[in-house]
Structure 1
Amino acid sequence: MSIPGKEKLVQEVVGTLHDNGIRGQPMWDSHNKVYKSFSDVIEGKERRFHQTLLGKRVDYLGRSVIVVGPSRSLHRCGLPCEIAIELFQTFVIRGLIRQHLASNIGVSKSKIRHITSQL
């Protein structure tokens, strides 16, 4: 096979990876299953890209009773520990990783859970 022929073949394969139906008929494997292209993976609400990479819904509705503490001045307010941890968890995770106290997000979350269980 000549070099221009190989270039065309590589171009077709890359095009199929991007969008399997780009040339009309999609490519099939030996078990008669259509290959999933990158565009198939990221399209729609049910796809992996939408489910995981765009993030999940987070409920930031903190229902708590506001009570003025006798030791607080008028321009300060108290925030329950559970709500504060939930609101600022991403910042705490980033701080733990930057200070090399945790190697990744999962380790950071488990450390946060361990500390909050002791509160």
Structure 2
Amino acid sequence: MIYRRKMYKVAPNILDEFNKHFNETLLPSQLKYGARLVGRWMTKENEGAIDIFAIWEYDSYDDYEIIENKVKSDEEHVKRVQKRFQKIGGREKLNEVFFNIDQDFIETTVPIDKTILSQK
């Protein structure tokens, strides 16, 4: 099992739209192709930014790549994402509201049966 930590630093004025976009566009497409969301959290505003991060579970890095390729190849998904970009002024405006986007892959340091994840 591997976990992907996807992190965003966003402007507060985009928060509601971004959370709506995640729940209505990004999440359904990821779930459709087999990604498993562990959870998604955000911090309170700090120095004009809000940190948001999600943890996703995959059976392996290869499975992650297969799922990502399917999502990126889904023409309807791509159209929905582009439509959301237009709502905030187009792709060129993203740098004004998304200060940083990053991801890494993490592994657990305790047996899964000692965590809430074992209750699946």
Q: What TM-score do the two structures reach when normalised by structure 1? A: 0.23
Return the index of the structure with the highest Cα Rg.
1
Q: What TM-score do the two structures reach when normalised by structure 2? A: 0.23
Q: Which has the higher contact order (CA 8 A, sep 6+)?
A: 2
